Chains A and B, each alone.
Chain A
Amino acid sequence: MSEFQQKCSILGRDRLAPDVFRLTLQAPKIAAVAQPGQFVMVRVVDGLDPLLRRPFSIHRSFADGSISLLFKVIGKGTAMLARRCVGDELDVVGPLGNGFEFSDDRPVCLIGGGMGIAPLLFLAEHLHSTGRATEKDHVLLGARNKDELTPLADEFSALGYTVQLATDDGSIGHKGFIPDLLDFVLPTVEQVYTCGPHLMMENIVRQCQQAEVTCQVSLETHMACGMGACLGCTVNGKRGLVHVCKQGPIFNADQLEWSL
C-alpha cells in the first residue's frame, strides 16, 4: 500500500445539519488508490494549534480524483475545519490503514451510527459499483434526529439498498437504537460491517456473536501520526495491544476485547 502527502483544494463544502459538514477535496493520488474503510490525516490549519492532524474515514471516493469527508463539530479541530472555505487548501496524508474485507455473494448488513456512517457510504458505493451488492443486503443507520440522517439515508437508498433508520428523538424511523432493529435483520445476513459510537458497536458485536455472524468494526481513537510511528493509538486486542492506524482501523470483532 502507498500513501501520499498532498495539498488538497476544497471543492465543496456542504452543511448537512447545523453541526455536520461534508467537505469534498481534490485529492487525485489518494482517490486513485483509496479502499473503503481507509482514512486520511488532515491538518485543519497550517499553524501549530491545534498541533496534530485529525483522522477522518474516507466517506466517498470519486473517479474524478476527489474524496469526501464527513464530520461533526465536536472540538477545536473540527470547529476550525468547519470554517474552511471552498478554494482553501488542506494538507492531507493518506490513504492510511487497512480497509474492509469483502467477498462476493454474501448478504451483508451495513450499520452506521452518527459520523460512523462516513466510511459505510464509501463501502456501499464500492459494493454497488463492483457488482457485489445484492437485494438481500441491509443498511441500518442511526443518529440523533432526522436532520442528521436524511441526506445520507437518501444516498444509500439511491444505490438500491433497503435502508432502516433509528433516531434518538423518533423524528424519523424507529425511536431508539440501531441494535433494536438488528435482531430482525441478522438471520438474513452473513456479514456485518459497523462503525459508530463504541457502546453501539459493543451491542452489535454481542448480537453478531450470538447469531454467529461475522462482524467487521471500524475503530476511532486519538492518534498523532496515523502511520505506525507514534504508537499512541493502541486498543486492547484479544492477544495484547493493537494499533488502530496500522492493524486497523478495520478489525474483525473477535480480534478485540469487548467489555459487554
Chain B
Amino acid sequence: MGKMEKSVMESGSETNLAPCGMPDLRVQIGSLALRNPVMTASGTFGYAREFANLVDLDRLGGIIVKGISLQPKPGNPPPRIVETACGMLNAIGLENVGVDRFITGKMPYLRKLSTPVVVNILGDSVEEYSEIARRLDGAEGVAALEVNISCPNVKKGGVAFGTVPEMAARVTEAVRRFTTLPLIVKLSPNVTDIVLMARAVADAGADAVSLINTLIGMAIDPVSRRPRLANVIGGLSGPAIKPVALRMVWQVAQAVSLPVIGIGGITTAADALEFLLAGASAVQVGTANFYDPSAAENIVQGLNDYLQEQGEDRLVDIIGTLKTGTD
C-alpha cells in the first residue's frame, strides 16, 4: 500500500472509503464497519504482530485475536497438532495470556492498526464470560467481541455452551449485559442442528454469528497404537472442512436475519466467494494463515478482481445471491 493511500485510510471518517473507480468492498456486521469482508480467524493469527513482517495488516478487513480467558492458560501437553489430508487437527487447549495481560501487553500494538480488532473470549462459566466482557468493554481499541462457545478442547463447560441452545443463549445474554460492543457468537459444527444454535443466540442478543469452529476429529499412529494428539481428540480445520462449513453457513444464513460470518478452509478468493454467495456477510481466513501468510491479503485482491470482472460496483450486492433451482 502506498504512503498516500495509507494516510487517507487513517484519516478518521474516510477510513473505509474505497479508492476512486475501485469496487466497494465495505461490509457491515451490525454496527461494526469493515473496509472489506476478509478477517483473520481467532487462534490462527496470534495477536497479529506475529505476522507484521509478512502481511500488510492495514489491508485486512478485521483481525480476530487468539481466544482470551479470564486467567492465563498454559494449554495442553504436546503433541498438540497433526496434519491430516488437506487439513490439520489441533488440541492447543486455549493457551493464552489472560485478559489483563492482553489489555496491557497486546492492545497497545493492536490499537495502532487501522484495522478493527475483534477479541475472541472464552470461559468455563457464564460468570467468567461476563467478567471478561466487562473488562474489555472499556478497553480502548476493541472493535467487537466474538464469544467462543464452541472450542472442543476444554473439559468442563465449554462443550455444553456450544451444543445446548439454552446454555448458548445464557452465555450470550450474560455477555450482552456487560458490553455495548458488537457481539459475534462463534458456533460449533459439532451439533445436530446448527440452525437451532444460531436462532438461540440471535434471540439472546447476538449481533452476528460466525461459523464454523473446528470439527472434532482424531488420528492414530498404527505403529505405536497411540493417538497422535496428547489430548486424544482435537479440532479439524483446513480445506478438508470447507464443504461442511459452506453447507452450514448457507443453512444459517437462510434461517436468521443476523449477519453471518463464514469460516472453514478458506484459502483463496474463490473459496471466500462461495461463502459470500451462500449468504455470509464476511469471512474469516483461518488455517490458511499458517501455510500461506499472504492468503488473507491475496483474497482481498481476488475479491476486488472478481467484482471488476463481473461488473459489480459493490461487494454487498453479491452477498446471498446463490442461484438455486431454475432461477
Contacts and interface: CB of A to CB of B under 8 A. Distances in A.
13 contacts: A93-B54, A93-B293, A222-B79, A222-B81, A222-B83, A224-B287, A227-B51, A229-B46, A229-B50, A229-B51, A230-B43, A232-B81, A232-B92
Interface string A212-250: 000000000111110111111111100011000000000
A241 B75 contact: yes
B205 interface: no
Nearest to B52: A2
B81 A224 contact: yes
B291 A51 contact: yes
A43 interface: yes
B293 A43 contact: no
B294 interface: yes
A229 B290 CA distance: 8
Contact of A48 (B78, B267, B293): B267
Interface of A: 2-5, 43, 48-53, 91, 93, 221-225, 227-236, 240-241
B75 A49 contact: no
A49 B86 CA distance: 5
B222 to A, nearest CB: 14
Interface residues of B, number: 34
Contacts of A240: 74
Nearest to B85: A49
A3 B55 CA distance: 11
Interface pairs A-B: 8 shortest CB-CB: A232-B81, A229-B46, A225-B290, A224-B290, A48-B86, A234-B78, A228-B50, A232-B80
Contact of B292 (A4, A43, A50, A223): A43
Interface string B1-16: 0000000000000000
A258 to B, nearest CB: 15
Given A51-B239, A51-B287, A224-B290, A4 B83 contact: no
Contact of B78 (A2, A49, A221): A221
B34 interface: no
Nearest to A240: B74
Dominant secondary structure of chain A at its interface with chain B: loop
Interface of B: 43-46, 50-51, 53-54, 74-75, 77-83, 85-88, 90, 92, 95, 238-239, 267, 287, 289-294
A227 B78 contact: no
Contact of B290 (A50, A230, A234, A236): A230
Given A48-B86, A241-B74, A3 B238 contact: no
A240 B74 CA distance: 8
Given A43-B292, A48-B267, A231 B85 contact: no
Contacts of B74: 240-241
B152 to A, nearest CB: 16
Contact of B46 (A221, A227, A233): A227
A4 B52 CA distance: 10
Nearest to B228: A222
A52 B83 contact: yes
A89 to B, nearest CB: 14
A230 B53 contact: no
B261 to A, nearest CB: 20
Given A51-B86, A227-B51, A229-B51, A5 B92 contact: no
A52 B289 CA distance: 10
Contacts of B287: 51, 224
Contacts of A241: 74-75, 77-78, 95
A227 B81 contact: no
Nearest to B80: A232
B50 A227 contact: yes
Given A48-B239, A229-B44, A3 B88 contact: no
B98 to A, nearest CB: 14
A247 to B, nearest CB: 13
Contacts of A225: 289-291, 293
B54 A230 contact: no
- Of A2, A4, A222, the most chain B CB neighbours within 10 A belong to A222
A71 B316 CA distance: 48
Nearest to A243: B95
